[in-house]
Amino acid sequence: VLLVAVDEALLELRKNDSWELLSAMMGERPLRVATSTMQSQIVGKRHYGLKALPSGGGGGVSSARELFDTLLFWKAVLPLDKNGEATAEIPMNDSLSSFRIVAIATEGASRFGQGAKSVRTRQDLMLFAGLSPFTRQGDRTRAEVTVRNGSDAALEAEVAGEVIGRSKLKAQNVKLAAGASQTLHWDYEIPKEVASLQYEFTARAGGASEGKEALKLNAAPPKDAFPGTASMEVRVEKKLSSNLGAVKTYMEAYPYRCLEQQVSKVITAQDKKAWRSLAKTFPQYADAKGLLKYFPEMGEGSEVLTAYVLSIAEAGGYEVPPAFLPTALEGLKNFVEGKVYPSGFIYPAADLSLRKLSAMDTLSRYHVFEPAWLSTIQLDPSVLPLSALVDYRGILSREANVPKGKEALKLNAAPPKDAFPGTASMEVRVEKKLSSNLGAVKT
């Protein structure tokens, strides 16, 4: 018998199906039929999608913690007594969470079983402080504390606070139903010439345990300021992308690891060596159609991901391995021509034309574009989102043989129809870059 106890917050990030042997053996095995059609070449002016469903994104089923100890207990071999029973003592950590205890048993080569039980840890009385980590001298601030009853019965608690070494905060009584919480507050003026303040809050109830929450609050002027003075520095850059230090710092610490996120992290860091190392793994992420997958273990690739990786590589001057590039381009080409079905890793939205336009833009970057493709999708610039307009303009700017391509690039501009004659005007400028004209921002 193997016995394991893990924090269910870990299972919220990704469910563990490895111990559900019977479900894997007896699960449904649906038939899967892939079809190819030339219908998009014949009636390509309509959208075929789930128009009745709202488009959506998603995250997990609820918020997940970033730093926590997940494994409580692991014993690969748990001895049984003569009755086939075993006892194990599982040490709990300080997390107030729900834990899954799973036992997996095997006998010989053909008998196995699995059972699980969830347990939740809690405290009868809990305090959560809501204080600003920094404040200014002389400010009048509000110290807030949330009191939670974690027991199964109603209770009445007395909550008191103290600014250690300075003053006591008036005690407040609160009645809480089982599982309920309430926020209490105290108004307090920050003394002058003080470097830090330490608050301590306590809560007591008849039969419940004592809750205590202490927090040190630092109050200090900027470290590089002269005593008694304050200043502000304003910097004007030539372009919006001049100072991306904060963005690079954020991406350096980015913890997620799907292919799209790895590519974005490397491109942001402008790390050629890291790109070459990552690009060598592209064949491991490719499916049978030549499209890239978000994770190697996934069954299907994504035309959206493939178009993104190839486009951002071309725009940044990063080389895609020559042995892999033709395969990926062929996969995108087959998607545009309707020879392969779209990936299932998409949101339920009628965006097939937009995804095809993105794939066409990528193919145009690598000089394998065919103008006839544009006739298979509906192109109305007045309703296209900005991303699609950028893709469309990129195609037209690179492909000179697109019918009426030059006309499509022109901008039709006119004063408002309801303007008085002679009182309205329009100024059109063409700038070299997005950040050339920041007059409105300066104003």
CA angle 272, 276, 279 (to 5 degrees): 130
* pLDDT of the residue at 102: 92
Measured between alpha carbons, how far is residue 247 from residues 190, 254, 257, 315 in Å? 35, 10, 18, 19
Q: Does the structure show a pLDDT above 90 at 292?
A: yes
Which residues contact residue 320 at a Cβ distance below 8 angstroms, ignoring those fewer than 6 apart? 279, 282, 309, 310, 313, 328
pTM: 0.45
pLDDT one-digit tens code per residue, 348-406: 556 888 999 999 999 999 999 999 898 888 888 878 888 898 999 899 888 888 877 66
User: CA 173 to CA 143: how far, in whole Å?
Assistant: 16
* pLDDT of the residue at 63: 46
* pLDDT of the residue at 303: 92
* pLDDT of the residue at 26: 81
User: CA 370 to CA 277: how far, in whole Å?
Assistant: 32
**Tokens found for residue 89:** 């003592």
* pLDDT of the residue at 435: 47
* pLDDT of the residue at 259: 94
Domain ranges of the chain: 2-58+66-120, 125-218, 245-409
Longest alpha-carbon distance in the chain = 102
Residue type, 145: V
**Tokens found for residue 365:** 């970057």
Q: Does the structure show a pLDDT above 50 at 50?
A: no
Rounded CA Rg of the chain: 31
Average pLDDT rounded to a whole number, residues 96-120: 88
* pLDDT of the residue at 290: 92
Would you mind telling me the total number of residues written for the chain in this entry? 443
User: CA 71 to CA 53: how far, in whole Å?
Assistant: 40
Measured between alpha carbons, how far is residue 84 from residues 1, 20, 105 in Å? 10, 21, 11
**Residue 435 vs residue 97, higher pLDDT:** 97
Out of 220-234, 259-273, 347-361, 409-423, which region has the weakest mean confidence (pLDDT)? 409-423
Average pLDDT rounded to a whole number, residues 191-217: 72
Residue type, 195: A
User: CA 341 to CA 300: how far, in whole Å?
Assistant: 11
Contact call for residues 7 and 92 (beta carbons, < 8 A): no
Query: What percent of the chain has a predicted confidence (pLDDT) above 90?
Result: 22
**Tokens found for residue 13:** 């990030």
* pLDDT of the residue at 307: 95
Q: Does the structure show a pLDDT above 50 at 256?
A: yes
pLDDT one-digit tens code per residue, 74-91: 988 988 888 888 899 988
pLDDT tier for residue 53 given thresholds of 50, 70 and 90? very low
User: CA 127 to CA 202: how far, in whole Å?
Assistant: 8
Which residues contact residue 56 at a Cβ distance below 8 angstroms, ignoring those fewer than 6 apart? 347, 348
* pLDDT of the residue at 403: 78
Strand 211-218 relative to strand 167-176, pairing:
unpaired
Q: Does the structure show a pLDDT above 60 at 424?
A: no
* pLDDT of the residue at 419: 55
User: CA 1 to CA 226: how far, in whole Å?
Assistant: 68
Fold (CATH) for 125-218: Immunoglobulin-like (2.60.40)
* pLDDT of the residue at 408: 66
Q: Where are the alpha helices (DSSP H) in 153-289?
A: 245-252, 259-269, 272-279, 282-285
**Tokens found for residue 73:** 């207990």
Q: Does the structure show a pLDDT above 90 at 306?
A: yes
Average pLDDT rounded to a whole number, residues 29-58: 55
Measured between alpha carbons, how far is residue 302 from residues 205, 241, 289 in Å? 57, 30, 10
Contact call for residues 212 and 202 (beta carbons, < 8 A): yes
* pLDDT of the residue at 441: 44
